[in-house]
Amino acid sequence: MERLRRRIPWVLAGFLLLWSLLGWRTWYWQSGVAPLVRAVHQHALTLPLQSRGWIRDRNGVPLTDPRPAWAVALFPAHFRAGAAGAGTAAEARLAGALGMPPARLSQLLRAAGESPTWLVRGLSAAEARRVADLGLPGVAVVEQPERYGPRALARHLVGYVNLSGGVQGLEAAFDAELRGEGGLHLAGYGTGRGAPFQGLGIRPVTVTLEKPPWDLYPSS
Please tell me the predicted confidence (pLDDT) of residue 34. Answer: 45
**Mean pLDDT over residues 16-26, rounded?**
66
Q: What is the mean pLDDT of residues 31-37?
A: 44
Mean predicted lDDT score pLDDT of the chain: 76
If we measure between CA atoms, which residue out of 89, 72, 57, 107 comes closest to residue 220?
57
Is the predicted pLDDT of residue 212 greater than 90, yes or no? Answer: no
What pLDDT sits at residue 40?
A: 43
Query: Tell me, what's the pLDDT at 213?
Result: 72
Q: With cut-offs at 50, 70 and 90, classify the pLDDT of residue 39.
A: very low
Say if residue 81's pLDDT is above 70. yes
